[in-house]
């Protein structure tokens, strides 16, 4: 659905800061090289603690981070073949989470029925992914497509982000091109105009026109005679991740991991297609070029953004009742998508609970609490957001 691009005063509905995630998507949890063969690490997706391990064949698995025996965190254990072994009594769990050995049981003795929840896990684009929702809904296709990843001549810069803020705050920062003011000392962009805006139940597509000048413009090879260049920036939010491009200059895949109500992480892949070098040369200079570009081009911007996001969160936490005013319809569209996705999940999971008793296998921990939040909150954000 096409939306108006007129900037008009609109009131933000604060409940977007209190919603949970729709877990029926793939979420990035770590860079692939952070987990070596035979290692196990703890990760958290929206308050669910998960033990992620790489078996001796190199395959990645994800189990609930609680031993079904006494609750010891399984990430403290060790990997044996394709199993995860609890450090306390040595019970062994296969990738499905089933207890398949208790070291002090005689060989013939029947094992107790003890199972840790297992999560679909995958490895793609140098990132480890976990699907925290209903495993029946996990299909590999839902991991975002990153076509540039397989182009060895394209410079790729991986970037990690950590924010002490709710994921809605972090996501709004990415959609919000009107904050070039913040980056003025870095010679960021200026004169932003929202050109196009489209929204569906799971996506927002916005197109902005922005101008650049200064050192960055020169570095990116955008210099013109008067030193000012005007480009189109396209921002595509496809729940729960982003793909943003600057016409002919960069392509950024921004994968978001909501950790808790006040913590979000991101795993981003930045491609600079115009930095095209012979494949072999690129392989040699990549290790030098990557940290330089990351440090000079990206991190100073990110650090300024982080300060704003965290400040926003702190003010919200001090007074969740306070009302705010927004004028960018793209931000309101994004808020509607975040709320709709959450509502969709809450509805699906309550229907599922009514239909079948699958509570052992898939029980959304927060569905009761979520229903409460939704019931007591105002109507879904409407067209005007008022």
Comparison of 69 and 286: residue with beta carbon closer to ligand FES:
69
Strands 241-246 and 250-260: antiparallel
Does residue 361 touch ligand FES according to CB under 6 A?
Answer: no
Cβ–Cβ < 8 Å for 381, 13: yes
Least separation in angstroms between residue 196's CB and Fe ion is 21
> Of 134, 148, 207, 305, which one interacts with Fe ion (CB under 5 A)?
305
Least separation in angstroms between residue 47's CB and ligand FES is 22
Does residue 112 touch ligand FES according to CB under 6 A?
Answer: no
3-class DSSP state for residue 327? Answer: coil
Stretch of residues binding Fe ion (CB under 5 A), selected from 72-80, 164-172, 302-310, 349-357: 302-310
Does residue 63 touch ligand FES according to CB under 6 A?
Answer: no
Least separation in angstroms between residue 82's CB and ligand FES is 18
Query: What residues numbered 178-197 form the site for ligand FES, per CB under 6 A?
Result: none
Least separation in angstroms between residue 232's CB and Fe ion is 17
Comparison of 105 and 181: residue with beta carbon closer to Fe ion:
181
Cβ–Cβ < 8 Å for 59, 107: no
> Of 7, 38, 80, 88, which one interacts with ligand FES (CB under 6 A)?
88
Least separation in angstroms between residue 91's CB and ligand FES is 4
CA distance 253 to 159: 10
Does residue 89 touch ligand FES according to CB under 6 A?
Answer: yes
For 330-350, the DSSP string reads HHHHHHHHHHHHHHHHHHHHH
> Residue 305 touches which of ligand FES, Fe ion, none (CB < 5 to 8 A by kind)?
Fe ion
Q: How far is CA 181 from CA 47, 145, 233, in A?
A: 34, 32, 16
Helix axes 329-355, 367-376, angle to 10 degrees: 130
Residues in CB range of 250: below 8 A, 6 or more apart: 220, 270, 271, 272, 273
3-class DSSP state for residue 120? Answer: coil
Which DSSP helix (H) or strand (E) runs through 62?
A: strand 60-64
Residues within the interface to Fe ion (CB under 5 A): 305
Binding site residues, ligand FES, CB under 6 A: 67, 69-70, 72, 86, 88-89, 91
């Amino acid at each position: 659905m096409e939306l108006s691009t007129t900037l008009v005063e609109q009131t933000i509905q604060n409940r977007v800061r209190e919603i949970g995630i729709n877990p029926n998507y793939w979420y990035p949890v770590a860079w692939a090289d952070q987990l070596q063969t035979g290692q196990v690490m703890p990760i958290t997706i929206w308050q669910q603690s998960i033990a992620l391990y790489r078996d001796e064949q190199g395959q990645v698995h994800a189990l609930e981070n609680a031993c079904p025996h006494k609750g010891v965190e399984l990430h403290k254990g060790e990997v044996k073949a394709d199993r995860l072994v609890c450090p306390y009594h040595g019970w062994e769990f296969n990738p499905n989470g089933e207890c398949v050995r208790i070291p002090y049981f005689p060989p013939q003795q029947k094992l107790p029925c003890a199972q840790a929840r297992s999560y679909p896990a995958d490895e793609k684009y140098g990132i480890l992914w976990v699907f925290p929702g209903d495993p029946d809904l996990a299909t590999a296709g839902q991991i975002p497509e990153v076509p540039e990843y397989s182009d060895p001549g394209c410079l790729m810069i991986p970037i990690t982000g950590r924010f002490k803020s709710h994921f809605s705050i972090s996501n709004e920062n990415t959609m919000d091109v009107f904050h070039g003011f913040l980056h003025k000392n870095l010679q960021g962009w200026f004169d932003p105009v929202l050109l196009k805006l489209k929204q569906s139940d799971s996506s927002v597509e916005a197109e902005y026109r922005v101008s650049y000048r200064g050192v960055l413009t020169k570095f990116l090879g955008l210099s013109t005679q008067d030193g000012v260049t005007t480009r189109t920036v396209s921002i595509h939010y496809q729940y729960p991740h982003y793909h943003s491009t600057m016409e002919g200059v960069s392509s950024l895949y921004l994968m978001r991991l909501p950790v808790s109500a006040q913590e979000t992480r991101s795993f981003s892949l930045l491609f600079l297609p115009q930095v095209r070098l012979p494949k072999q040369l690129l392989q040699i200079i990549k290790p030098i070029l990557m940290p330089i570009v990351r440090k000079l081009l990206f991190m100073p911007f990110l650090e300024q953004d982080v300060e704003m996001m965290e400040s926003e969160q702190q003010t919200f936490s001090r007074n969740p009742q306070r009302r705010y005013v927004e004028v960018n319809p793209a931000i309101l569209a994004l808020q509607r998508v975040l709320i709709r996705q959450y509502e969709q999940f809450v509805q699906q999971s309550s229907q599922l609970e009514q239909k079948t008793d699958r509570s052992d296998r898939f029980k959304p921990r927060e569905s009761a609490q979520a229903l409460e939040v939704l019931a007591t909150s105002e109507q879904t954000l409407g067209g005007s957001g008022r």
